Amino acid sequence: MDGNARGKMPGIRAGGILLAIIGASLWGLSGTLSSILFRDYRMPFSTLVSLRMILAGVIALAVLRPAFPKKSAGSFLLFALAGLFGVQITYLATISYSNAPTATLLQYLFFPIVIIYEVARKKVRLTAGIIVSVALALGGTFELTTSFPSHSAAIILSPLALAFGLMSALTAALYTIMSGPLIRQNGTLPVITWAFIIGGSFSIIFSLNSSYSYFSGIRPEELPAILALVLLVAVFDTLVAFGLYIRSMQEITATQASLAGTMEPITAAISSALLLGIFLTGFQYIGGVLIVMAIITVQLFSFRGRRAV
pLDDT value, residue 200: 93
pLDDT value, residue 309: 36
Spatial separation of the C-alpha atoms in residues 49 and 30, rounded to whole Å: 12
Maximum alpha-carbon separation in the chain = 59
Spatial separation of the C-alpha atoms in residues 57 and 243, rounded to whole Å: 12
pLDDT value, residue 250: 65
Spatial separation of the C-alpha atoms in residues 220 and 139, rounded to whole Å: 47
Spatial separation of the C-alpha atoms in residues 289 and 100, rounded to whole Å: 15
Q: Identify whether the C-beta of residue 148 lies closer than 8 Å to the C-beta of residue 89.
A: no
pTM for the whole structure: 0.82
Residues 6+ apart with CB under 8 A from 66: 60, 187, 189, 190, 193, 194
Q: What is the pLDDT along the chain (309 residues), one digit of tens a residue?
A: 434 434 444 444 677 778 888 988 898 899 999 999 999 999 999 999 999 999 999 999 998 899 999 888 899 999 999 999 999 999 999 999 998 888 888 888 887 788 788 788 877 777 777 788 778 878 887 777 777 777 655 556 889 999 999 999 999 888 888 887 888 888 888 888 999 999 999 999 999 999 999 999 999 999 999 999 999 999 888 888 877 876 776 676 655 666 677 778 888 888 888 998 888 788 888 888 888 887 777 667 655 544 433
pLDDT value, residue 29: 92
Coil, strand or helix at 4: coil
pLDDT value, residue 306: 47
Spatial separation of the C-alpha atoms in residues 279 and 165, rounded to whole Å: 18
pLDDT value, residue 224: 94
